[in-house]
Amino acid sequence: MSDTYDLVRDAGAKPPILTLPLDAWHRERGGRMVEFAGYHMPVQYEGIMAEHQWTRAHAGLFDVSHMGQLVLRGDNVAQALESLLPGAFTTLKPGKQRYSLLLADDGGVLDDLIVTNRGDDFYVVVNGATKHADIAHIAARLPEGVALAHLEDHALLALQGPEAAVALGALGLVPAGDATRTLDALVFMEAAPFVWNGVALGVSRSGYTGEDGFEISVHRDHVAALADALLAQPAVKPIGLGARDSLRLEAGLPLYGHDLSPDIDPVEADLGFAIPARRRVADAGYPGAARLARAFAEGTARRRVGLLIEGRMAAREGAEVLADGRTVGTVTSGGFAPSLERPIAMAFVETALAVPGTSLTLSVRGKTLAATVTSLPFHPHRYVRKGAA
Partner 1 sequence: MTRYFTADHEWIAVEGDTATVGITDYAQSQLGDITFVELPAVGASLGKGDSASVVDSVKAASDVYAPVSGAVTEVNPALEDAPELVNSAPEGEGWLWKMTLSDAGQLDGLMDEAAYAAYVAGL
List contacts with partner 1 (CB under 8 A). 1-5, 7-8, 43-44, 47-50, 52, 242, 245-246, 311-314, 316, 335-336, 338, 343, 365, 367
Residue closer to partner 1 by CB (options 313, 352) is 313
Those residues with Cβ within 8 angstroms of residue 74's Cβ, 6 or more apart along the chain or in another chain: 80, 145, 146, 147
Backbone angle region of 366, left / alpha / beta, with phi > 0 → left and psi within -120 to 50 → alpha: left
For 244, what's the count of Cα atoms within 13 Å in the CB-facing half-sphere? Answer: 20
Determine the Cα–Cα distance for residues 386 and 389; give it in Å rounded to an integer: 9
Determine the Cα–Cα distance for residues 113 and 98; give it in Å rounded to an integer: 9
* Closest to 360 in 3D by CA, of 197, 350, 84: 350
Minimum CB–partner distance for residue 171 and partner 1 (Å): 31
* Closest to 369 in 3D by CA, of 341, 344, 351: 344
For 204, what's the count of Cα atoms within 13 Å in the CB-facing half-sphere? Answer: 25
Residue closer to partner 1 by CB (options 107, 343) is 343
